[in-house]
Amino acid sequence: METQVAVLGASGRMGSLVERIIDSTEGLVLHAGLTSATPLEEMLGADVLVDVSHLDASEIAVPFALEHGLDVVVGTSGWDERRIASVAAAVPAGRAAVFVPNFSLGSVLGTALASVAGRFFDSIEILEAHHDKKVDSPSGTAVRTAERIAAAREHPLSPPHADQEARGQLVAGVPIHSMRLRGIVADQQVVLGGAGEVLTIRHETISQEAYVRGITLAIGHARSSQGTTVGLDGVLGLGELLGRA
């Protein structure tokens, strides 16, 4: 049975990639490509909305899609725990909302490893870099990583001099430093300092091909699950594995 997919943010870099994946994947059919100027009603009749737009549009489109019987895959940056919780509380029975800050398998594994290592270090900071066209900062991936680290720890982090602007934006007790540079796709380093040692967990995206498998898996998960899933780690079922680590 074919899955009809609507794409919000179709004119952007990620939107173009999602449409290419749909065109080349058996069982997926492009129902509509929407931009910020497109009436939301054009998504009606689709099975899934893949949202890779910007936060202002996303916060309107995601509830609209769920209310009208679509499952949703959200790859738009800016969906923090508070925003996700507000949508999760209103997901209709039988529908699925999948929030994926980063569709790269390597990136989600890097975040997972950082959440394990973060239990054992009390000095932790994140340095993230993206291409110069990315508007928001810090990235959704960096925010998700900081939140995962904090959730895994027994005690909250207390970084020194966190009130100084140059120390980065504090997310869940973790300073995040953002760079926007030409020549970069995406690069994240989680730096963990301890007595006499430093551990760095780094993931670098070389091209958008890194997102293909994750996008396909997320769409499939949205069609086969119910309720809210956060992170590609949730799609992959890494939570149970990490709980044993």
Number of continuous H segments (helices) and E segments (strands) in the chain: 8, 11
Does 196 have pLDDT greater than 80?
yes
User: ∠93-216-107 over CA atoms, to 5°?
Assistant: 100
Residues 72 and 127 in one domain: no
Q: Where are the alpha helices (DSSP H) in 31-72?
A: 55-67
Residues 112 and 190 in one domain: yes
Residues 80 and 22 in one domain: yes
Nearest to 85 by CA among 97, 95, 94: 97
Residue 178 sits in a domain whose CATH number is 3.30.360.10
Residues 109 and 202 in one domain: yes
Span 65-108, pLDDT tens digits: 999 999 999 999 889 889 999 999 999 999 999 999 889 999 99
For the chain, the domain total comes to 2
Q: Quote the pLDDT of residue 239.
A: 64
User: What's the longest Cα–Cα distance across the chain?
Assistant: 59
Residue range of the domain that includes 232: 3-103+209-243
Based on the number of CB atoms within 10 Å of its own CB, is 84 exposed (0-12), middle (13-18) or buried (19 or more)?
middle
Residues 224 and 193 in one domain: no
Based on the number of CB atoms within 10 Å of its own CB, is 13 exposed (0-12), middle (13-18) or buried (19 or more)?
middle
Q: Report how far apart, in Å, the C-alpha atoms of 92 and of each of 64, 66, 144, 215, 233 are.
A: 11, 7, 25, 23, 23
Residues 68 and 96 in one domain: yes
Q: Quote the pLDDT of residue 117.
A: 97
Q: Which residues contact 86 (CB under 8 A, 6 or more apart)?
A: none
Q: Report how far apart, in Å, the C-alpha atoms of 213 and of each of 54, 91, 115, 142, 171 are.
A: 22, 26, 23, 21, 29
Residue 28 sits in a domain whose CATH number is 3.40.50.720
Catalytic residue positions, numbered? 130, 134
Residues 147 and 89 in one domain: no
Percent of the chain with pLDDT over 70: 97
Pairing of strands 197-205, 186-194: antiparallel
Residues 40 and 51 in one domain: yes
Residues 85 and 119 in one domain: no
Residues 112 and 180 in one domain: yes
CA pair distance 245, 229, nearest whole angstrom: 21
Span 148-192, pLDDT tens digits: 999 999 999 999 999 999 999 999 999 999 999 999 999 999 999
Q: Report how far apart, in Å, the C-alpha atoms of 16 and of each of 127, 129, 210, 229 are.
A: 28, 22, 14, 24
Residues 118 and 191 in one domain: yes
Residues 196 and 217 in one domain: no
Strand partners, 175: 170
- Residue 244 structure tokens: 């044993």
